[in-house]
Structure 1
Amino acid sequence: MKKILTLVLVSALGGILTLGAYKLLLEPEQKPIIASNHNTSTYLPTNHVKSIYNVEEKANFVAAAESTVNAVVHVKNVSVGSSQMSIQDLFFGRNPNPQYRLGTGSGVIVDPSGYIITNNHVIKNSKELSVTLNNNKTYEAEIIGADPETDIAVLKIETDEDLPVVNFGDSDQAQIGEWVLAVGNPFNLTSTVTAGIISAKSRDLTGSRSQSFIQTDAAVNPGNSGGALVNTNGELIGINTAISSQTGSYVGYSFAVPSNIARKIFMDILEYGNIQNGVLGVSILNKNSEEAKELGVNEIEGVYVSEVTRKSGAEKAGLKKGDIIKKLDHIEISKFEDLKGYLKTKRPKDVVNVKVLRDEEFLTIPVTISNIDIFSAEFMDMEFKDLSTDVKDKHNIPHGVRISKSNNKWLKNNLGITEGYIITKINDKKIESIQDISKLKEKYGDDYLENLKSLAFINRYGEKKEVIFK
């Protein structure tokens, strides 16, 4: 055993002596390589890549939070609904007792005199409305106006002092990947801040292509609705509105109305008392439709104009069917939601520079935004729109107007007439356009049922029918 250990030690000692002799006598001298400031390499020193690696500049959450939390409020809504009628109520002829429901949300002070922006669904059907500031002072609130389509509402509280505000930012300039803070009042707490990035823009949650949300991964929970989405400068770039969840709580994505849309709704309500909706005057081809596949425009970048509305600003400016809209002013247009979102920030008579691709040539055409009233008319608790020439030719319809919206329960329950039906005659008079509908509204007003003698229509299956009222 001793002989074996002695042999191992001798072998190890011999290896060390051999390696040392090589390093000392045979290996060439190696000088250390030192990075030089004059090196032509494309790698940059880390202190020059400020936008990525400088932590202090990257996300100053403290400053943004401090400038926001005191301008985000708690909104409490007491609404009244009817309880279900019991057998006893039915037997004794009693009306069911009203049920009081408490709803909560958030709001953002945007004017020091006490104007607050929140979501329409936060204050809907309110009987009593109160606002609690971050310093726990509570005030009664008045609804100044609301827009259900964009889910934006404006409140007012009366105070003797100027209130802290969140200044509007430009949501069009917000970029995917940019840091943002969601500030709200979830779970009836004082203002709470969460952080994330912008995940996407121009999101539509309904599939109706009527929305244009900013999507973020900042945690938003029940009670955050109506709160502020701000950038790292503390500027308001969105009003938190919805979450994507199967549980009702935050699981990864939240959605905000862009601040440019919210600001436009706010100014419309204050200046005009209602929403000033404008339209470009074009119909856009759905990329997933059979017609899009036939035309080979499914893969285009931009939106394809399938129809130009008569008497619209688009027609007067010279937009044509087949044009591909690539840009509105400075906004790149890749899908319909981009176009819809930007137009929601515009009013009638505003001018928008429309960049189109036509016959492999780019053109920039100034278009004056038209009032939506020239495209629709309301009568009999329904909204009507003109039929496009393509629809008339395709389905061999000589005249008529389409029902785009209907709140007329009587016609729906008794005749099945609802959205999508085409009205061709009223009281034996041909309906050529919505101008005819407007004339009937002027003639009959709200007393249309007393004067309705006949109604001819085409249902969703293309069947032509006529009803005579005695």
Structure 2
Amino acid sequence: MSWFTRALTRYKYHVIAAAAGSSLHLFNHTCCHQDSILKYDEFSLEQTTMLVKKVLKTPPNPFIRFTAHCKEKKDLHQFEFIADAAEQALPAVVSIDVKQRQNYVFEVQGSGSGFIVDKRGYIITNEHVITGCKGVTVVLGDGRKIPGTVVAVDSLTDLALVKVETDLDLPEIRMGDDSKLRPGQWVVAIGNSLHFPNTVTAGIVSNTARSISDNDMLRHQAPKVGTSKYVQTDAAINPGSSGGPLVNLAGEVIAVNTIGVLGNASGMAFSIPVSEVKRFLKEFSEGQQHSSSISKVTYSLGLRIITLTPGMANFLHQQGKLDPSLSSGVFVFDSAKNSPAYHANLDKGDVIIAIDNHEVHTKDDLSRAVQQSGGNPVRVTFFRPDRGFLFTNITPEKS
């Protein structure tokens, strides 16, 4: 008897050592030691002999050996939770082909993903999927194609709503609750990955509320970085997956696949929480798209900016380039030539602290205030080294 078998016996497990290789099959039945004799409560010699014969006939692959002991196929079904989750969500997942008119000819420029949130034909996707498009075609999971129309866009969170007109009985996805997410939780991503429809990948939640708007690497790689907190996952999100659902094991969407990090940072992707989708849909249904951040137009001042961090603030204080009373704001790196900010003489080194009557502490604050202006002039208050606190009126431009 090997040391391993003796050790397991000592810890009160019934051990049957198979002759096939060194594999061991453990059966969790109590055995007791009395007068130096092992007495087995439930296993007769006949039952034990039958089990050993079964083991010897089983192939050496441990997974095959494991499945061979399952009495019925339903015993394995409990391990197919990824497939079960995908099966629940797949009928409501669509591909989105976008077209742009060039030289008076329609040319397909790209594709993305989306999912049906209302059987009347409303589909959620990313704004960057449909930006600049002149035509949208929604491709259902069975390959049927339906023309679509962009009916609303939220540029701050990179969400868009597409509407299709059809008499088909469209399936709609079930909404989950991202507030209940935990790091380490299993999730499934579905989308039109690299033009392969209905691609399913799986992973775990790495972080439930990741802010990435100030990450230089993501800002260069991502087509658009919104303002929301993202769900970080290691499920594969490739080009074309944007706009597809990230679902939990109940098949409920808990986020919108948005950014897959390329290059050396494999196993890292970001999705917009479903709470943002619910807010977006609520504002649209209440007809607030003209008085909130939801619109078909994005506005910009034409600035290159970064959120002022405490470390940056301390450095600028030491250099005498920031008022001691300031510890937050938005630092201006540059302004695009002929942009509204350029004509308003905003310059490198300025620190923006307010838009109209709204304090600005982060890039997100500034973007939100500019978008909510609806293109109307805004009063920008900022600090300039050697000049102090200043303000100027700027009219945002469409971007």
Shorter-chain TM-score above 0.5: yes
Equivalent position amino acid for 1:191 in 2: N
Aligned to 1:261: 276
SS in 2 for 1:260: helix
When residues 187 and 285 of structure 1 are mapped into structure 2, their CA distance, relative to the original with a 3 A threshold, is closer
Query: In the alignment, what sits opposite 1:220?
Result: 237
Whether 1:30 aligns to 2:33 is no
2:89: which partner in 1? 68
Paired residues for 1:320-469 under 5 Å: 394=325, 409=338, 412-414=341-343, 416-417=345-346, 421=350, 434=357, 460-463=384-387
Identity, % of aligned pairs? 30
Contact 1:70 1:191 in 2 (8 A): no
Q: How many residues align?
A: 278
Q: Deviations over 1:347-366 (max 9, x none)?
A: xxxxxxxxxxxxxxxxxxxx
1:62–1:34 distance in 2 versus 1, CA, 3 Å? same
The DSSP-based 3-state class of the residue aligned with 1:214 is strand
CA distance in structure 2 between the aligned counterparts of 1:456 and 1:181, rounded to whole angstroms:
44
Query: Aligned to 1:185, what secondary structure does the other structure show?
Result: strand
Residues 446, 272 of structure 1: alpha-carbon distance in 2 compared, 3 angstrom cutoff: closer
Partner of 1:196: 203
CA apart distance, 1:79? 2.5
| Structure with higher RCO (Cα < 8 A, 6+ apart) | 2
* Equivalent residues in 2 for 1:30-429, closer than 5 Å: 30-32=36-38, 56-57=77-78, 60-80=81-101, 100=107, 102-207=109-214, 210-246=227-263, 251-274=266-289, 276=292, 394=325, 409=338, 412-414=341-343, 416-417=345-346, 421=350
Change beyond 3 A, Cα 1:410–1:196: closer
Cross-structure match for 1:323: none
Query: Aligned equivalents of 2:352 and 2:92: distance in 1?
Result: 51
Q: 1:419 to 1:192 in 2, by over 3 A?
A: same
Decide whether the 8 Å contact of 2:236 with 2:260 is kept in 1.
Answer: no
Secondary structure of the structure 2 residue equivalent to 1:32: strand
Q: Note if contact 1:421-1:460 (Cα within 8 Å) is conserved in structure 2.
A: yes
Give the secondary-structure state (helix, strand or coil) at the position aligned to 2:285: helix
In structure 2, relative to structure 1, the CA distance for the partners of 1:179 and 1:140 (3 Å cut) is same
Amino acid at match of 2:275: N
In structure 2, do the counterparts of structure 1 residues 432 and 104 end up closer, same or farther at CA, with 3 Å as the change threshold?
closer
Q: 1:128–1:205: structure 2 CA closer, same or farther, 3 Å change rule?
A: same
Letter matched to residue 138 of structure 1 = K
In structure 2, C-alpha distance between the alignment counterparts of 1:259 and 1:447, rounded to whole Å: 31
Closer, same or farther in 2 for the Cα pair 1:32/1:195, shift >3 Å?
same
CA distance in 1 between counterparts of 2:355 and 2:166 reads 55
Q: Any conservation in 2 of the 1:411–1:418 contact (CA below 8 Å)?
A: no
Residue 58 of structure 1 and its aligned partner are, at CA, apart by 5.9
Give unmatched runs, 5+ long, in structure 2: 1-33, 43-74, 216-225, 294-306, 315-321, 359-373, 393-399
Residue 204 to residue 233, structure 1, CA distance change in 2 (3 Å): same
Amino acid at match of 1:104: S
Question: How much has 1:106 moved relative to structure 2?
Answer: 0.3
Secondary structure (helix, strand or coil) at the match of 2:37 reads coil
Closer/same/farther in 2, CA of residues 59 and 238 from structure 1, 3 Å limit: farther
> Which digits, 9 at most, give the CA deviation of each residue in 1:383-435, with x for residues without a partner?
xxxxxxxx97737xxxxxx99x99994554356326975799xxxxxx99749
The separation in 2 between residues aligned to 1:64 and 1:112, in whole angstroms, is: 20
Q: Deviations over 1:194-245 (max 9, x none)?
A: 1111121111223279331111111221110000111111111111000111
Q: Return closer, same or farther for 1:406/1:264 CA change in 2, 3 Å cut-off.
A: farther
Query: With structure 2 as the length reference, what TM-score do the two structures score?
Result: 0.57
Which ranges in structure 1 are unaligned for 5 or more consecutive residues? 1-27, 37-53, 82-95, 278-283, 292-390, 396-401, 425-430, 436-444, 449-454
The answer to whether the 8 A contact 1:80-1:125 is kept is: no
Helix, strand or coil: the match of 2:173?
coil
CA, structure 1 residues 33+238, in 2 after alignment: closer, same or farther (shift >3 Å)?
A: farther
Q: 1:144 & 1:205 partners in 2: Cα distance?
A: 27
| Structure 1 residues 447 and 136, CA gap change in structure 2 (3 angstroms) | closer
What is the TM-score of this pair, normalised by structure 1?
Answer: 0.49
C-alpha spacing 1:273/1:408, structure 2 compared with 1 (3 Å): farther
1:107: Cα distance to partner?
0.4
CA distance in 2, matches of 1:195, 1:239: 14
Q: Given residue 92 of structure 2, which amino acid in structure 1 is its aligned partner? A: A
